[in-house]
């Protein structure tokens, strides 16, 4: 949360000590992250027991099948490289919550976040880098706040799909305010919409992850997670390509319209592909009862 603001403030001095301070902050953050991950792992014995069982099982299997594995290694690797990707995609397509994952990938097309394109556009509108850095820190804090609001919404609604719909609708509504700011060339309207929209983004991201955890079988989670990550990366490259095509600041609205339509498409996917089908099935079950 504090990193972007500190980095921008130090960068404004443009000296070597400022760059060293920013690098030191990154190193300390990475160290603390690894310490916390190790601490969390040590506090949950079930993770350690599961890994120990898997490691012991894998050792026994390796000892028994070492000769046969070495003779068939080349054939297995060629088959897996040819058909592994197709099989993973097939497993992903037949998941119950397919549209929740596709909608999440569409959200990666969003450029109305404090990334390079939006920051350059805000600077061209007259905002200083110090103000942009502070706004980026506030945007990160809004994302952290979204994780807390997710827990409250889930406790109130008691439905992950309804929580996901609320989160993505909240994001789309506030991005509409940002869209109005771009059309009016008012950077403050853009900021007012972008910062709180991160709350909805994080609510939906957590809700979609929880949906996959609840519905995807354990043996297929690796395949589904790999395809989802690849899909997110694919859609994340679209704004970068559009940014290279429409590199002029005056053409930024074209990139933003594409991003806005992508978010709107994600809302429709969640509404008609995730929430309403489950709602109709619940109503049919209650009618039968």
Tell if the pTM clears 0.95, that is, is over it: no
Confidence bin at 63 (pLDDT 50/70/90)? very low
Could you identify the residue written with the tokens 């994340």?
Answer: 236
Phi-psi region of 162 (alpha: psi -120 to 50; beta: other; left: phi over 0): alpha
Averaged over 250-271, what is the pLDDT? 89
Confidence bin at 119 (pLDDT 50/70/90)? confident
Count how many Cα atoms sit within 13 Å of the Cα of residue 209 in the half-sphere of its side chain. Answer: 9
Structural tokens at position 9 = 């403030």
pLDDT of residue 66: 46
Structural tokens at position 126 = 């007259």
pLDDT at 157 over 60: yes
Of 42-51, 65-74, 131-140, 197-206, the one with minimum mean pLDDT is 65-74
pLDDT at 31 over 50: yes
Confidence bin at 168 (pLDDT 50/70/90)? very high
Count how many Cα atoms sit within 13 Å of the Cα of residue 8 in the half-sphere of its side chain. Answer: 18
pLDDT at 72 over 60: no
* CA–CA gap between residue 18 and residue 174 (Å, rounded): 35
Averaged over 128-144, what is the pLDDT? 86
Kindly report, residue by residue over 217-229, the tens digit of the pLDDT: 888 888 888 899 9
Averaged over 253-279, what is the pLDDT? 90
Burial class of residue 141, CB neighbours in 10 A (0-12, 13-18, 19+): middle
CA 172 to chain CA centroid, Å, is: 16
pLDDT at 195 over 80: yes
Residue 114 DSSP code? S
pLDDT of residue 40: 75
Averaged over 81-92, what is the pLDDT? 75
- Between 83 and 167, where is the model more confident? 167
pLDDT of residue 86: 81
Structural tokens at position 19 = 């760059």
Kindly report, residue by residue over 11-26, the tens digit of the pLDDT: 555 555 655 666 677 7
Mean pLDDT of the chain: 79
Q: Above pLDDT 70, what percent of the chain?
A: 75
Averaged over 192-206, what is the pLDDT? 93
């Amino acid at each position: 949360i504090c990193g972007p603001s500190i980095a921008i403030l130090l960068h404004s001095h443009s000296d070597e000590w400022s760059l060293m301070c920013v690098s030191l902050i990154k190193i300390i953050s990475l160290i603390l992250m690894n310490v916390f991950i190790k601490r969390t792992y040590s506090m949950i014995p079930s993770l350690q027991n599961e890994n120990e069982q898997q490691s012991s099982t894998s050792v026994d299997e390796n000892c028994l099948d070492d000769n046969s594995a070495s003779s068939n290694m080349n054939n297995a690797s060629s088959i897996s490289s040819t058909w592994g990707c197709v099989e993973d995609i097939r497993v992903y397509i037949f998941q119950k919550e397919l549209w929740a994952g596709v909608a999440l990938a569409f959200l990666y097309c969003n450029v109305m976040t404090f990334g390079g394109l939006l920051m350059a556009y805000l600077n061209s509108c007259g905002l200083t880098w110090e103000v942009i850095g502070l706004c980026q820190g506030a945007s990160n804090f809004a994302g952290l706040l979204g994780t807390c609001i997710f827990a409250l919404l889930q406790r109130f609604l008691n439905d992950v799909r309804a929580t996901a719909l609320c989160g993505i609708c909240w994001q789309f509504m506030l991005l509409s305010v940002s869209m109005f700011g771009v059309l009016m060339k008012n950077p403050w309207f853009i900021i007012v919409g972008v910062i709180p929209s991160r709350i909805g983004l994080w609510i939906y991201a957590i809700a979609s992850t929880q949906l996959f955890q609840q519905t995807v079988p354990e043996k297929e989670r690796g395949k589904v997670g790999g395809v989802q990550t690849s899909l997110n990366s694919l859609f994340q490259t679209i704004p970068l390509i559009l940014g290279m095509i429409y590199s002029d600041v005056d053409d930024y609205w074209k990139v933003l319209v594409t991003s806005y339509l992508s978010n709107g498409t994600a809302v429709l996917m969640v509404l008609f592909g995730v929430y309403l089908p489950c709602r109709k099935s619940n109503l049919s079950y209650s009618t039968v009862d």
